[in-house]
Amino acid sequence: MSNPLLNLPQLPPFDQLQPHQVAPAISELIARCRQQLQQGLKDPGWESTLVPLEQAQDQLNRAFSPVSHLNSVLSGEWRSPYEAALALITAYWAEQGQNRDLYAVYQQLAGAPEFEHWPQPRKQSVVLGLRDFELGGVGLHGEARRQFAENRRRLAQLSSEFANNVLDATNAWTWHTEDAGVLAGLPQTALAAARSAAKGKKLPGWLITLEGPSYLAVMTHADNRALRREVYTAFVSRASEVGPNGGTYDNSTLMETILSLRADQARLLGMANYAELSLASKMAPSTERVLEFLNDLIGRAKPAAEREMAELREFAGTTYGLEDLQPWDLSWASEKLKQQRYAISQEALRPYFPYSKVVEGLFTLVEKLFGVAVAADNSVATWHEDVQFFWLLKGDERIAGFYLDAFAREEKRGGAWMDTVCSRRQTGRGLQLPIAYLVCNFSPAAGEMPSLLTHSEVTTLFHEFGHGLHHMLTKMDVEAVSGINSVAWDAVEMPSQFLENWCWQPAVIPMISCHYQSGAALPQAMLKKMLAARNFQSAMFTLRQLEFALFDFRLHCCSEAMSAEKIQQLLNTVRSEVSVVPVARENRFQHAFSHIFAGSYAAGYYSYKWAEVLSADAFSLFEEKGIFDRTTGEHFLHTILEQGGSRDALALFTEFRGREPKIDALLRHSAIEGQEQSISPA
C-alpha cells in the first residue's frame, strides 16, 4: 500500500494518515532532498539549484506538517513517530545550514551583477538565506561545527520533551466531587462542562481539570477559597519538583540543559549570549535596546498597576474580609470588583457570544476590510469531528484555506496558535495555495448548550485569525519569504494584535454577537459597561506581560550556567522589581513556560509588546479614516499582509503608516499615562 505522506495532495488526507507511515516517509523525503541538492550543485544557479531544491524541501515540509500538528492536537500514538521524525528533520536542517557548497551558490548569486535587478522576493530570499547560513554555523570548522549541529538536534528533542511534560502534567491532575455545594459561584456553562468531563471518565458529579476553560472558571468564579487554592496550586506547579505531582513530570533538568545548549550555540558563533543570537534575525537592534524598551514600559505601567492592586486589596478586605489576599484570590476578587464597578462580567456576556455567531461575524468583517470571502467545505477530511475547513475566496477564486480546531479536549495541547500546512509558492504545475491550521481551546458545546465564548475568547479567535491572514493573504511566490516566513519575529504578532482591535468596536459587536437562545442583540447598556470595563486592571495585565518578557530576556542574556535554583532566583528578582501581586511559594511558572522552552519565543517574548506598538499605531489609522474603510483596509493588505517577509518589517510599516511607529496609540488603548515620551521600536 502506498504511503500518502510521500505524495500529498493540496490538503493532507487526515482520514488516511497512520503513525507507522511517518518514519519511512520522512526518511525517503530527506534522501530525495539530499539527492536533489547534489544534482543542483552540478550547475549552480537560481533555476537549476534553488528552485528544484525548494520543491523537494516543500514536499518534506508538507509531510512533516500534519505529523507535527497531530502530535499537538491528538498526542497519544502520534508522539513517538513525531519525535523520531523531528530528530531526522532537525539533523537534516542542521546539515543543510552548514553546507558550504550551497552557501557558495547563494554567495555567487548575491555577487552577480544582475542581482540588484532581481524581483524583490527572490533577492530577499538570497539575502536572508546568507544570514541564516551564517547563523547556522556554516563558518564553523572541526569539532565546533559538529558540536553546533549536535546541539541543534538536542535542543529540538529537549523542547519536545518539555512540551510533553507540560501536557502530561496538565492531564494528570483532576479534582472530582459529587457535592454541588462546593462548586458555588461557578456559572452554568462551567458546571455543564465539568459534568460532561465527569461523564467522559464514567464518574458521577463534576470533574475539574487544568485545561484552560475549567481552570479559569474556578479561579474567576468559585466562591470556595479552599478549592481555588487547590486548583491554583496544581496549575502553577505543573511539570516541576513541587505540587501534587511534584517530580513526576519535572522540567527542571530540561530547562538547565536547554539554556546551556543555547548559550553554547551563541558562544560557538562568537556572540556574547543567546539573546544576541536571537536578535540577529529580529527588528530590535540590540539587547540594550530591548531592555531599554521593556524597562521604559515597566516604569510607565507600574505606578498605575500599584494603584490597581491597592484598590483590589482594599475592596477584598472591606467587602469580603480578605485581609491576606493570596494569589488564588486575585482573579476571583478582581471579578467581584469588576462586577461592582461596572455591573458586567465575562459570564454575563457569554450568552451573547455563541461560537457560531462570532465566527460568522469575523468572516463578514474580513470581507469588509480586505475583500475576501470565507466558505466552509464539509467534504475535507479532518482529524476530529469538531474541526471545520474553510476556503478564502477572492471573487469565485480560491486563494487560500484553513482548518479551524476551536475546542479544548484531552490530549490536545493548551493555548491557541496558528501553524502552516503549506505556504504559497509557484511550482512547475502552477500556484500552490497557502493553507493554515488555526487552533484554540474554547469550551465545547455541552448537552443542549452550544459553545459560548467569553469576550476574552472572542479576542483570542480574532488574534489567531490575524496570524492566519498574514499567512494566507500573501502574494509572494517564493516560499522563503511567503506569508509569515522570514518575517522578523518581533513583528510577526502585529497582524494578530491588529485584528483584535475590532472586537471592541460598537459597530462590530452586532456582527459577532446575539443571544444564543432569543437571538436578541447585546443590550446597549451591557455594551457600554463592557467598553467601560475594557481597561479594568490593564496596567496589571501589562505588567504581567512585561514580567514574563524581562525574565525571558535576562535569562537568555546570561552566559553562565543556569541551574534550576538560579532560574528561580532570577525570576524572583524580576518579580521583586516588576510585579505588584503576591506570589505563591509553590509557583513554578517557568517550568511550564512553553513559549520560551518549547516554542519560538526564547529571548523573544518581548515581541508581544514590541509588535503591539506597531499594531496599535496601525489601527489608529483606521480610527482616523473609519474602522470599515475599504481603502485603508486594502492599503494594509497590500503593504503588510501581501508582502510576507519580502521586505524589512519597519520599512513595510512605514509605507503603510506614512511614518515610523509611535507608541502613543498603545498607551492610549491601554489607558497608561506618559504619552509624551517616545519609546517606539523604530
pLDDT for 682: 60
pLDDT for 228: 98
Domain boundaries of the chain, sorted by first residue: 4-167, 173-236, 252-344+537-605, 350-488+510-521
How far is 355 from 361, CA to CA, in rounded Å? Answer: 10
**Which fold is adopted by the domain 350-488+510-521?**
Collagenase (Catalytic Domain) (3.40.390)
pLDDT for 674: 52
Q: Which three cell numbers stand for residue 383?
A: 482529524
**For 574-606, how does the pLDDT look when each residue is reduced to its tens digit (9 = 90+)?**
999 999 999 999 999 999 999 999 999 999 999
Tell me the H-state helices in 601-671: 607-625, 630-636, 649-657, 664-670
- Among 360, 317, 679, 644, smallest CA distance to 478 is for 644
pTM of the full structure: 0.95
User: What are the DSSP calls for 121-182, one per residue?
Assistant: HHHHHHHHHHHHHHHTTTT--HHHHHHHHHHHHHHHHHHHHHHHHHHHHHHH-EEEES-GGG
CATH class of 252-344+537-605: mainly alpha
pLDDT for 447: 86
How far is 194 from 182, CA to CA, in rounded Å? Answer: 13
Q: What residues in the chain have per-residue pLDDT under 50?
A: 675-678
467 neighbors 496 (Cβ within 8 angstroms): yes
pLDDT for 387: 98
pLDDT for 675: 42
pLDDT for 671: 85
Same fold, 4-167 and 252-344+537-605: yes
- Among 35, 31, 36, 27, smallest CA distance to 54 is for 36
pLDDT for 676: 42
User: What are the DSSP calls for 206-266, one per residue?
Assistant: EEEESSHHHHHHHHHH---HHHHHHHHHHHHTTTSSSSTTTTTS--HHHHHHHHHHHHHHH
Specify the CATH architecture of the domain 4-167: Orthogonal Bundle (1.10)
How far is 354 from 86, CA to CA, in rounded Å? Answer: 38
Task: Please give the positions annotated as active site.
Answer: 464
Find all residues with CB under 8 Å of 27, minimum gap 6, and list them.
Answer: 88
